[in-house]
Amino acid sequence: MQVQLKVNGQNRSADVPANTLLVQMLREQLRLTGTHVGCDTAQCGACTVLVNGRAIKSCNTLAAQHNGAEVTTIEGLAAADGTLHPMQAAFKECHGLQCGFCTPGMVMSAVDLCTYHPGATEPEIRSLLDGNMCRCTGYQNIVKAVQMGGQAMAGAMAHPQA
């Protein structure tokens, strides 16, 4: 079946079997390998992407379920000129990563978290990131990065560039 998506601002389509997972389509057909496959059971969050602005785990949803949807992967978060998204910049600044495997999913979840829960406290951030695992135990720096990124996102929304 043909699945059509708007991925990172571009219309994309692929012929895939009906049982193709969204993560498989992104990685294998569209070659967007920043979305990682960790557990295949929606436990670790490495496969998190934004679908119509909301974070989902792409390893447990079929590509066909999102036909016509807008998908943002880690590759599409930065500006076209390469300027990092405020959350990506915060993860870099706060060293909210170690091995980097969980980072794309963490960043995507953090964008969702700060979009829909602005001003979240540290305990709220920890609770809302519960579905994302970091096996390197970098959670303290991840929480700092989410706090910094959230503040930067709020500032960018309050002062959009002309």
Q: What is the pLDDT of residue 162?
A: 45
Claim to verify: residue 72 and residue 9 sit in the same structural domain: yes
The model's pTM: 0.91
Claim to verify: residue 91 and residue 59 sit in the same structural domain: no
Query: Quick check: 20 pLDDT over 50?
Result: yes
Q: How far apart are CA 75 and CA 40, in angstroms?
A: 21
Q: What is the pLDDT of residue 147?
A: 95
Claim to verify: residue 99 and residue 34 sit in the same structural domain: no
Per-residue confidence at 38, pLDDT binned at 50, 70, 90?
confident
Claim to verify: residue 57 and residue 99 sit in the same structural domain: no
Claim to verify: residue 16 and residue 54 sit in the same structural domain: yes
For 37, residues 6+ apart whose C-beta sits below 8 A from its C-beta are: 23, 27, 46, 47, 59
Q: What is the pLDDT of residues 88-118, one digit of tens each?
A: 999 999 999 888 888 999 999 999 999 999 9
Phi and psi at residue 4, to the nearest 5°: -115, 130
Please report, for the domain that includes residue 132, its CATH number. Answer: 1.10.150.120
Per-residue confidence at 161, pLDDT binned at 50, 70, 90?
low
Per-residue confidence at 157, pLDDT binned at 50, 70, 90?
low
Claim to verify: residue 98 and residue 48 sit in the same structural domain: no
Q: What is the pLDDT of residue 159?
A: 54
Claim to verify: residue 24 and residue 71 sit in the same structural domain: yes
Asked if the structure places residue 81 within a domain, the reply is no
Number of domains the chain is built from: 2
For residue 60, give the 3-state DSSP assignment. helix
Claim to verify: residue 41 and residue 64 sit in the same structural domain: yes
Enclosing domain of residue 68: 2-76
Q: Write down the mean pLDDT value for the chain.
A: 92
Please report, for the domain that includes residue 16, its CATH number. Answer: 3.10.20.30
Q: How far apart are CA 142 and CA 137, in angstroms?
A: 9
Q: What is the pLDDT of residue 30?
A: 96
Claim to verify: residue 98 and residue 39 sit in the same structural domain: no
Q: What is the pLDDT of residues 39-91, one digit of tens each?
A: 878 888 999 999 999 999 999 999 999 999 999 999 999 999 999 999 999 99
Continuous segment of H or E residues that includes residue 3: strand 2-7
Burial profile 46-66: b = 16 or more Cβ within 10 angstroms, e = fewer? bbbbbbeeebbbbbebbbbeb
Average pLDDT (126-150) is 90
- Domain boundary residue, one of 22, 47, 76: 76
Phi and psi at residue 75, to the nearest 5°: -65, -25
